[in-house]
Amino acid sequence: MKTHPSRIRALTPTSSTLALLLPALIAGAVTAPSAFAQDFRESHAAPSEVAPRLKDWIYIGADVGKAWLSTDFANEADKKGTQYNLKLLESHYWNEWLLDLGAGYFYNELSGGNAQGNRVVKTRALLIEVSPRYRIPTEGMHWQIGPVVNALFGADVSFDETEAVQEKKFTLIGGLRAQYETGGEASRWRFGVQAMNDLNIAHRNVQWLQADIQFGFPWEKSGKSRPAPAPAAPSKPVVARATPHFAEIKGANTVKIHLSETILHFKSGSHTLAPSSERILNQVATYLKNAPDAWKTMRIEGHTDRIGKHPYNMKLSDRRAGALKKRFTQLGLPGSHMTTQGFGPDRPIDVDFTPKAFARNRRAELWLDGVMDPETLTKDMNEIGDLSEIDEVNSNH
CATH topology for 7-218 is: Porin (2.40.160)
Q: Residue 139 has what pLDDT?
A: 61
What fold does the segment set 247-396 form as a domain? Answer: 60s Ribosomal Protein L30; Chain: A; (3.30.1330)
Q: Which helix (H) or strand (E) holds 241?
A: none
Report the SS3 class of residue 283: helix
Split at pLDDT 50, 70, 90, the class of 389 is: low
pLDDT score at 37: 42
Confidence of residue 140 (pLDDT cuts 50, 70, 90): low
Is there a contact between 59 and 216 (Cβ–Cβ < 8 Å)? yes
- Identify the burial level of 133 via C-beta atoms within 10 angstroms of its C-beta, where 0-12 means exposed, 13-18 middle and 19 or more buried: buried
Domain ranges for the chain: 7-218, 247-396
Sign of CA dihedral 266, 267, 271, 276: negative
Measuring CA to CA, how many Å separate 298 from each of 257, 279, 321, 336, 391?
A: 10, 19, 12, 10, 26
Q: Provide the mean pLDDT of the chain.
A: 79
Q: Say whether pLDDT at 302 is over 60.
A: yes
pTM of full prediction above 0.75: no
The pLDDT tens digits of the residues spanning 74-112 come to 778 888 999 999 999 999 988 788 999 999 999 989 888
pLDDT of 266 higher than 90 = no
**Average pLDDT over every residue of 363-367:** 94
For 8-28, what is the mean pLDDT? 45
pLDDT of 353 higher than 90: no
By DSSP bridging, strand 117-135 and strand 7-9 are parallel
Residues 179/190, Cβ–Cβ less than 8 Å: yes
CA distances to 11, 340, 377, 378, 379 from 295, rounded to whole Å, are 81, 17, 9, 12, 15
Provide mean pLDDT across the span 141-152.
91
